[in-house]
């Protein structure tokens, strides 16, 4: 083939074939090839070899390499020479270096593979703060909880670790934990979730610490570990020097005082002094060793916490003098949009230790805080607050039943339903329904009902209630469950009941309760729910389906799949509208499904 032959018609033909091969879902890449094709058609110069394609607008290395491969295949099929690049004549003896393309660095399409950059978090970002916090906390083998990490990480980050829906900030700095897990810098395990930093994560965290000149507290776990490692290293070095010295001394090759440091000479004197007692003599094979400060005594004695295991589950015992009591208020529980911190500020003004938190369940919960470790556990007192108008709406849309069901699953012994009967609220003729619901909540659910006139009356009652709870726990020891892996909320409830049966006997001062981390993780609205529970919740989203009715439907159709299959087998729409009504016609009154509700279920789950 003549090297001056214009290859443009061939390249245009092949580009057209490539463009025609793209399907409707490949619009983006098709548009790239279309622009390259149009540019090549109007290109005025000769194209005698593939490298000239890079001069055409819209053609890059990827398209050029693909056309080059087509040209080589075309030349092989016709048994003609491949067009070589003609180098311009040179009058000098300067050597021309031609860079060869490393085939191993190409992907299947012939383009150069991009090198994957090593992930490094931005300074004072969420990932940056999490890595430094886990490094400072020493990354124990059992892992760290979310609460433990963000307590330390907050000072290393410019963003908040708590979402704030009121300002439409639904994501927080904690979302960066997913990036660290994806890059294998942090491992996630167990339920409640615990996080472990990997060796790569430790290396990156130490690099960030040194690069940004971050200083950890002197008494933090990371610094104590470093001191202990240095101490052991120094002892090993001294021991090695002594062994070498005594070996040389036995053959008379060197005198003892010639090579020893001051610290080593003091130990060597104990070896060579003849008038020491035998019990004070230290041999080279077993030098005296001082234990690090953190290993002098068991940890349970250091912070006043007894740690043990029973039936495969870890737990801690807190003595009454080792904890104090405070009130956590859900930060979404507000007086008004303009006064979001009313409850926390009002309670603090009355000398009630309170904090705004994002609670997984309930509006207010009393917790105990360990004075030494700073960890929290949830006491057996939980409160759900409702204004009268909100209560009437929750009864209408079935949220009231669903909330009571979830509150019952906490296992808390004392659950309060506080109703604010503020005057002037519209309840839409729901007086009888409200009275019936409150009565059933007291009798059947064993909840405590408290009625207040307004928010000020609510704060006064919370203050007196907190004082009563403090007196109740004045002489009680807390047994705090610390499970590492829980399968479901039901399993956790059974675990709590087993502990109570074992430890809360007559005359016992012990009271079993959740750790705050377990309460948040296990008892969330959707976390740790079984398929059955999610199915019942889906049924209860239909207006008019109470918990009793949902359980009746579930007993007839055990899974959502079977429920949908039953609808699909209906021969007519009329049969589908009455299917549930007919199937549950013999159920007792509270579990019966009327024709209207049966039609609503058909419209929701069965109608196509």
Given a cut of 60, whether residue 275 has pLDDT beyond it is no
Bigger pLDDT: 318 or 296?
318
Closest CA to 354 of 391, 387, 375, 329: 329
Task: Give me the CATH number covering residue 334.
Answer: 3.40.50.10130
Helices (H) and strands (E) in the chain, counts: 23, 12
Alpha-carbon gap, residue 53 to 39, rounded angstroms? 10
Sorted by sequence, the CB contacts under 8 Å of residue 268 that are 6+ apart come out as: 242, 245, 256, 260
At 112 the pLDDT is 59
Last residue of a domain, one of 473, 502, 523: 523
Last residue of a domain, one of 200, 218, 236: 218
Given a cut of 60, whether residue 545 has pLDDT beyond it is yes
59 shares its domain with 200: no
Residue 74 counted as domain residue: yes
336 shares its domain with 199: no
Tokens of 351: 């000398």
At 251 the pLDDT is 52
Task: Summarize pLDDT for 327-366 with one digit per residue, the tens.
Answer: 999 887 766 555 668 899 999 999 999 998 888 888 999 9
Bigger pLDDT: 558 or 532?
558
Question: For residues 506 and 539, is the Cβ–Cβ distance under 8 A?
Answer: no
Residue 336 counted as domain residue: yes
At 130 the pLDDT is 95
Q: Is 289 helix (H, G, I), strand (E, B) or coil?
A: coil
Alpha-carbon gap, residue 535 to 530, rounded angstroms? 9
Residue 160 counted as domain residue: yes
At 136 the pLDDT is 92
133 shares its domain with 34: no
Task: Summarize pLDDT for 396-407 with one digit per residue, the tens.
Answer: 777 787 788 888
Alpha-carbon gap, residue 568 to 607, rounded angstroms? 9
Q: Is 342 helix (H, G, I), strand (E, B) or coil?
A: helix
Q: What is the mean pLDDT of residues 561-578?
A: 91
548 shares its domain with 503: no
Given a cut of 90, whether residue 542 has pLDDT beyond it is no
Task: Summarize pLDDT for 63-87 with one digit per residue, the tens.
Answer: 888 888 888 888 888 888 877 655 4
Bigger pLDDT: 367 or 436?
367
Task: Give me the CATH number covering residue 560.
Answer: 1.10.150.670
393 shares its domain with 505: yes
Domain that holds residue 25: 7-78
Closest CA to 343 of 179, 480, 458: 458
Bigger pLDDT: 154 or 106?
154
Residue 193 counted as domain residue: yes
Q: Where are the alpha helices (DSSP H) in 281-324?
A: 299-302
Bigger pLDDT: 324 or 399?
324
Closest CA to 327 of 350, 308, 293: 350
Question: For residues 450 and 416, is the Cβ–Cβ distance under 8 A?
Answer: yes
**Banded model confidence at residue 490, pLDDT cuts 50, 70, 90:** confident
Last residue of a domain, one of 78, 111, 137: 78
43 shares its domain with 180: no
Q: Is 390 one of the catalytic residues? A: yes
How many residues are there in the chain?
608
At 468 the pLDDT is 96
Q: Is 387 helix (H, G, I), strand (E, B) or coil?
A: strand
206 shares its domain with 331: no
Alpha-carbon gap, residue 184 to 206, rounded angstroms? 16
Q: What is the mean pLDDT of residues 256-271?
A: 42
Percent of the chain with pLDDT over 90: 30
Task: Summarize pLDDT for 102-121 with one digit per residue, the tens.
Answer: 555 555 555 655 666 789 99
CA dihedral 518, 521, 524, 529 (to 10 degrees): -100
Antiparallel, parallel or unpaired: β 376-387 and 364-370: antiparallel
Task: Report the run of H or E that residue 420 belongs to, with start and end.
Answer: strand 414-420
443 shares its domain with 573: no
Alpha-carbon gap, residue 337 to 22, rounded angstroms? 54
Residue 134 counted as domain residue: yes
Task: Give me the CATH number covering residue 149.
Answer: 1.10.10.10
CA distances to 156, 208, 261, 359 from 384, in Å: 35, 44, 69, 11
Q: What is the mean pLDDT of residues 10-34?
A: 82
Residue 462 counted as domain residue: yes
Task: Give me the CATH number covering residue 37.
Answer: 1.10.150.110
CA distances to 177, 214, 362, 391, 392 from 451, in Å: 43, 52, 17, 12, 15
**Banded model confidence at residue 93, pLDDT cuts 50, 70, 90:** very low
Q: What is the mean pLDDT of residues 219-234?
A: 79
Residue 283 counted as domain residue: no
Residue 188 counted as domain residue: yes
At 149 the pLDDT is 92
**Neighbour count for residue 301 (Cβ, 10 Å):** 10
Alpha-carbon gap, residue 512 to 501, rounded angstroms? 10
444 shares its domain with 491: yes
Sorted by sequence, the CB contacts under 8 Å of residue 168 that are 6+ apart come out as: none
Strand partners, 357: 330
Counting beta carbons within 10 angstroms of the beta carbon of residue 349, is it exposed (0 to 12), middle (13 to 18) or buried (19 or more)? exposed
**For the ranges 221-235, 480-494, 511-525, 530-544, which has the lowest average pLDDT?**
221-235
569 shares its domain with 514: no
Q: What is the mean pLDDT of residues 361-388?
A: 92
Number of folded domains that form the chain: 4
Alpha-carbon gap, residue 395 to 544, rounded angstroms? 10
CA 163 to chain centre: 13
**Neighbour count for residue 309 (Cβ, 10 Å):** 9
Given a cut of 60, whether residue 496 has pLDDT beyond it is yes
Average pLDDT over the chain, rounded to an integer: 79
At 429 the pLDDT is 75
* Per-state percent for the chain, helix, strand, coil, to nearest 5: 50, 15, 40
At 141 the pLDDT is 77
Closest CA to 71 of 87, 57, 55, 85: 85
At 283 the pLDDT is 36
What is the sign, positive or negative, of the torsion defined by CA atoms of 551, 365, 510, 527? positive
Alpha-carbon gap, residue 586 to 593, rounded angstroms? 10
Given a cut of 80, whether residue 578 has pLDDT beyond it is yes
At 529 the pLDDT is 64
Given a cut of 50, whether residue 286 has pLDDT beyond it is no
Task: Summarize pLDDT for 170-210 with one digit per residue, the tens.
Answer: 678 999 999 999 999 999 887 778 899 999 999 999 999 99
549 shares its domain with 501: no
Q: What angle do CA 40, 41, 46 make, to 5 degrees?
A: 70
Q: What is the mean pLDDT of residues 558-567?
A: 91
519 shares its domain with 544: no
Of the residues 228, 249, 303, 390, only one is catalytic, namely 390
Given a cut of 60, whether residue 22 has pLDDT beyond it is yes
């Amino acid at each position: 083939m003549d090297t001056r032959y214009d290859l443009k018609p061939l390249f245009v033909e092949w580009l057209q074939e490539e463009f025609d091969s793209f399907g409707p879902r490949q619009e983006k890449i098709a548009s790239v090839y279309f622009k390259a094709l149009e540019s090549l058609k109007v290109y005025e110069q000769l194209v005698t070899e593939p490298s000239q394609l890079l001069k055409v607008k819209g053609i890059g290395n990827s398209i050029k390499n693909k056309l080059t491969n087509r040209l080589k295949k075309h030349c092989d099929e016709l048994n003609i020479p491949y067009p070589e690049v003609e180098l311009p004549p040179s009058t000098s003896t300067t050597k021309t270096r031609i860079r060869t393309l490393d085939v191993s660095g190409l992907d299947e399409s012939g383009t150069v593979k991009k090198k994957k950059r090593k992930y490094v978090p931005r300074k004072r970002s969420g990932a940056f703060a999490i890595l430094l916090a886990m490094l400072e906390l020493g990354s124990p083998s059992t892992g760290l909880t979310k609460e433990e990490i963000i307590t330390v990480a907050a000072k290393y980050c410019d963003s908040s670790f708590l979402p704030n829906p009121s300002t439409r900030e639904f994501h927080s700095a904690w979302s960066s934990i997913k990036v660290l897990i994806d890059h294998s810098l942090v491992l996630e395990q167990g339920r409640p979730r615990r996080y472990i930093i990997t060796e790569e994560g430790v290396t990156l965290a130490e690099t960030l610490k040194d690069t940004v000149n971050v200083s950890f507290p002197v008494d933090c776990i990371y610094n104590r570990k470093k001191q202990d490692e240095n101490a052991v290293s120094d002892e090993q070095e001294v021991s090695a020097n002594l062994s070498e010295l005594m070996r040389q001394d036995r053959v008379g090759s060197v005198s003892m005082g010639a090579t020893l440091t001051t610290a080593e000479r003091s130990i060597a004197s104990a070896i060579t002094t003849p008038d020491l007692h035998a019990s004070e003599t230290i041999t080279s094979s077993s030098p005296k060793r001082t234990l690090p400060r953190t290993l002098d005594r068991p940890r349970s004695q250091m912070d006043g916490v007894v740690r043990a295991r029973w039936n495969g589950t870890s737990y801690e015992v807190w003595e009454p003098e080792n904890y104090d009591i405070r009130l956590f208020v859900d930060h979404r529980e507000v007086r008004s949009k303009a006064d979001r911190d009313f409850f926390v500020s009002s309670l603090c003004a009355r000398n009630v230790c309170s904090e705004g938190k994002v609670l997984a369940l309930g509006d207010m919960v009393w917790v105990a805080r360990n004075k030494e470790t700073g960890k929290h556990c949830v006491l057996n007192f939980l409160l759900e607050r409702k204004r009268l108008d909100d209560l009437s709406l929750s009864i209408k849309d079935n949220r009231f039943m669903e909330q009571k069901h979830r509150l019952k699953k906490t296992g808390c012994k004392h659950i309060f339903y506080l109703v604010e009967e503020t005057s002037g609220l519209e309840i839409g003729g729901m007086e009888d329904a409200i009275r019936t619901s409150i009565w059933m909540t007291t009798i059947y659910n064993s909840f405590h009902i408290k009625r207040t006139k307004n928010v000020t009356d609510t704060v006064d009652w919370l203050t007196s209630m907190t004082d009563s709870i403090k007196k109740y726990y004045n002489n009680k020891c807390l047994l705090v469950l610390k499970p590492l892996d829980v399968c479901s909320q039901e399993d956790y409830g059974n675990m709590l009941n087993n502990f109570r049966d074992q430890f809360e006997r007559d005359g016992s001062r012990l009271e079993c309760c959740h750790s705050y981390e377990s309460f948040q993780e296990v008892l969330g609205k959707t976390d740790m729910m079984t398929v059955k529970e999610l199915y019942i919740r889906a049924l209860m989203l239909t207006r008019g389906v109470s918990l009793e009715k949902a359980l009746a439907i579930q007993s007839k159709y055990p899974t959502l799949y079977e429920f949908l299959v039953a609808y699909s087998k209906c021969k007519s729409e009329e049969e589908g509208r009455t299917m549930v009504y007919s199937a549950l016609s013999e159920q007792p009154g509270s579990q019966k499904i009327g024709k209207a509700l049966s039609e609503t279920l058909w419209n929701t789950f069965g109608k196509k």
